Chain A
């Protein structure tokens, strides 16, 4: 057999290597988001000087909007202890589908990156420069069911206001009629005169 003859078994390691390489090329950021030590966001802020320039992993919910600016962008991550800005390549941030708000619990992501106490590229901001991002759990809708007490409270308070408005309107109409009678002016003027005198 010629040394150049093709043997299927010889392709197995090459194939695995190729597959690994292609995975890295296709999704280079999502493989090793958890390799660096995981830290809470509050700890990063409290011990910013000691973590400055170090690689860390953080995990939390994406809150608000992912703001893409050209080939890079920002997202804001909340882990319950604090909220921190994460800056990274747009292709990395595009993995996030849902940002947290009133209607949704945002995607839960794990981010690996370099922590900066005062990032010179971002005007001295305390932030995390992401190098890898992994979506741990997809966001979900938040339910806000309307309850019967809410309806009842609203109806009762509006009814009370309407009744009082009616009473006030009747009193004002009565007052107008009284003022149209000349004697009414006479009654009102001494008081006005007295108050005017205090001026």
Chain B
């Protein structure tokens, strides 16, 4: 028993050590909203951030001291557990400034919004959002931006100098880009590209904000925040009306550009960045996304036209297409009021959006959902089976996929893709079931659950401060599992269960 416990503790020490480093990084990032609050003259908010910085730094340092030692290699399971633990601990610590601000009804609500931000979902339980201080708004949008790129990816870039096991943490966070030979160089490349887009995107939205009548200072802050939410496919906004607040086609157009780019696979980004533009037309994910989004758009617009929801084609396309792409890329920017989905779009148009949210964007991007790669592989697998049935018995039927390079579709690809798709569907049904069990109508429950597990953020009104605590907890778990694509979370449970049994 003693030996088993010692082995368990020995295995846990590096997990605690790297989790401590990720927590320290989060403490460091809190200086950004702290400075924002100072510049905005929000002294009380600045003090709350100092408290949160102190608590987070203390937690991180305590973990380093308790689990101390040096950077060392990790097993696959340890890498996964570091990611799952880090996300939970960061959720708890990052919620402190929210809670202290008084805009969240409970600590659970504050943690819900942090998980929603980190997973780039965009569902919110914040109260009186229209009177929120700039410091808190900065923290909300920074969290969604950091979560989109991956908080472990950021830690790898800044705090972990060299580590053979870094790739295991990297994969645990739902990333598998190998842009450069070294995973830490890759993590830095991701941040370099993201920062470049941050400058360009903020400038573009600042200009758009000025053009629609926002004062220069507000136009800049709104531009920065909306860019962070768009690029990370997060869907947060500084006002309760979300994108409707701006009442502007120009603003909507600019956001579409950036959340579409944000939903692309980073490998594809890198290929285009490196001059290989042909990859866009050949890449399985890009092609799958183009096909599914066009088919779903046709379905949605047809249904909205049949229901006479909008008076003309311009309105139909602007409201319908924006919501569809916002859902499909798992961004969750709302150009409709939440209840309009149920009151005006039910049933088939709402179903189209629900399917789009479940499909999601690209793998190795900030988007959630099944991911276009897996949908593409599932389609190719079905096609291969049909071709095999039609071909002569002796014929060898092969199916190719292109993901940066040509690959033969193998059973392991199909198994991996279908496993995740099945898990997503099960998770969706469980979350929807819990929602419906509390008395919400089934269409709303299915829609909201798809939004949570797909890390989307579109809402039909279910997500509200008054929703039952168990539904909030279920949504937190759904967002967490969806963002980390199950494996890291399953490994975490397995790790502790095994340790407990021993």
Residues on A close to B: CB < 8 A?
Answer: 45-46, 48-49, 63-69, 73-74, 76, 78, 82-83, 85, 87, 100-102, 118-120, 122-127, 142, 144-147, 150-151, 153-154, 156-161, 164-165, 167-168, 171, 175, 188, 191-192, 195-196, 198-199
A165 close to B57 (CB less than 8 A): yes
Q: Which residue of A lies closest to B240 (CB)?
A: A83
Which B164-179 residues have C-beta < 8 A from chain A? 164
B48 close to A150 (CB less than 8 A): yes
Q: Which residue of A lies closest to B40 (CB)?
A: A102
Q: How far does the Cβ of B342 sit from chain A's closest Cβ, in whole Å?
A: 10
Contact for B134 among A83, A85, A102, A191, CB less than 8 A: A102
Query: Is B249 positioned at the interface, with any CB of A under 8 Å from its CB?
Result: yes
Q: How far does the Cβ of B148 sit from chain A's closest Cβ, in whole Å?
A: 25
Residues on B close to A: CB < 8 A?
Answer: 27, 40, 42-45, 47-48, 50-55, 57-58, 61-62, 64-65, 68, 70, 72-73, 75, 130-134, 164, 212-215, 218, 239-241, 244-247, 249, 309-312, 314-316, 318-319, 335-337, 339-340, 343-344
B343 close to A48 (CB less than 8 A): yes
Instruction: Using A45-B337, A158-B50, A161-B54 as known contacts, say yes or no to A74 and B61 having CB atoms under 8 A apart.
Output: no
B72 close to A85 (CB less than 8 A): no
Instruction: Using A160-B58, A192-B72 as known contacts, say yes or no to A45 and B51 having CB atoms under 8 A apart.
Output: no
Which residues of the other chain, A, contact B133 by a CB distance below 8 angstroms?
102, 144
Which residues of the other chain, A, contact B246 by a CB distance below 8 angstroms?
67
A154 close to B58 (CB less than 8 A): no
By CB atoms of chain B within 10 A, which of A48, A151, A154, A191 has the most? A154
Q: How far does the Cβ of A157 sit from chain B's closest Cβ, in whole Å?
A: 3
B65 close to A157 (CB less than 8 A): no
By CB atoms of chain B within 10 A, which of A68, A153, A165 has the most? A153
In the bound complex, CA of A29 to CA of B296 (Å): 45
Which residues of the other chain, B, contact A188 by a CB distance below 8 angstroms?
70
Which residues of the other chain, B, contact A48 by a CB distance below 8 angstroms?
340, 343-344
A168 close to B241 (CB less than 8 A): no
In the bound complex, CA of A49 to CA of B245 (Å): 22
Q: Which residue of A lies closest to B213 (CB)?
A: A67
Q: How far does the Cβ of B208 sit from chain A's closest Cβ, in whole Å?
A: 12
B50 close to A67 (CB less than 8 A): no
In the bound complex, CA of A127 to CA of B248 (Å): 13
B130 close to A154 (CB less than 8 A): no
In the bound complex, CA of A20 to CA of B240 (Å): 41
Which residues of the other chain, A, contact B241 by a CB distance below 8 angstroms?
76, 83, 85
Q: How far does the Cβ of A128 sit from chain B's closest Cβ, in whole Å?
A: 12
Which residues of the other chain, B, contact A49 by a CB distance below 8 angstroms?
343
Q: How far does the Cβ of A41 sit from chain B's closest Cβ, in whole Å?
A: 10
In the bound complex, CA of A194 to CA of B326 (Å): 49
Instruction: Using A101-B130, A124-B316 as known contacts, say yes or no to A144 and B51 having CB atoms under 8 A apart.
Output: no
Which residues of the other chain, A, contact B132 by a CB distance below 8 angstroms?
102
B54 close to A63 (CB less than 8 A): no
A157 close to B54 (CB less than 8 A): yes
Q: Which residue of A lies closest to B316 (CB)?
A: A124
A153 close to B51 (CB less than 8 A): yes
In the bound complex, CA of A156 to CA of B133 (Å): 24
B337 close to A82 (CB less than 8 A): yes
Which residues of the other chain, A, contact B57 by a CB distance below 8 angstroms?
161, 164-165
Q: How far does the Cβ of A87 sit from chain B's closest Cβ, in whole Å?
A: 7
B213 close to A65 (CB less than 8 A): yes
B42 close to A87 (CB less than 8 A): no
Contact for A157 among B55, B73, B239, CB less than 8 A: B55
Which residues of the other chain, B, contact A171 by a CB distance below 8 angstroms?
65, 68
A126 close to B337 (CB less than 8 A): yes
Which residues of the other chain, A, contact B337 by a CB distance below 8 angstroms?
45, 82, 126
